[in-house]
Amino acid sequence: MIEKAAPSGFLIYWRLDLRPVMGLAGDTAQGISYLMGNHILAERMYRHQPAVMLYAPLHTMIWQSPGGGTHFTFDRPSDQFGSFGTPQITQVGTELDKKLAALLEHLGLDVPSQLTARKG
């Protein structure tokens, strides 16, 4: 089901274009913030500890630096979810790392080694 709506494994739940608000203060940088995730994977963690929703969906941002480079910034899911100390939650965090790495690769972006590195 979710594969059809989100072939990358992620849905966009929320999007905020920051330019109109930050532009009021004279800032010209471009940035769009997203909440993206997969509610099926989130539920696998939620059943063990509802507080995981602090980090699900994932907070991501596409922004342009003053020098003109474009960046896709995110917190590594395995770090966020691994902090709960529950093996089932940590496993989903690692799965999300892999999905995020696949998405970056699909978009033709560099995949940080931290997303593909095996932990502990």
Express each pLDDT in 8-52 by its tens digit.
889 999 999 999 999 999 988 899 999 999 999 999 999 999 999
Under a CB-based contact definition with an 8 Å cutoff, are residues 42 and 77 in contact? Answer: no
pLDDT tens per residue across span 79-95: 999 999 999 999 999 99
Q: First vs last Cα of the chain: how many Å apart?
A: 33
Q: Is 0.85 surpassed by the pTM of this model? A: yes
Which helix (H) or strand (E) covers residue 15, if one does? strand 11-17
What residues contact 111, with CB distance under 8 A and at least 6 apart? 101, 104, 105
The hierarchical CATH code for the domain 2-116 is: 3.30.310.70
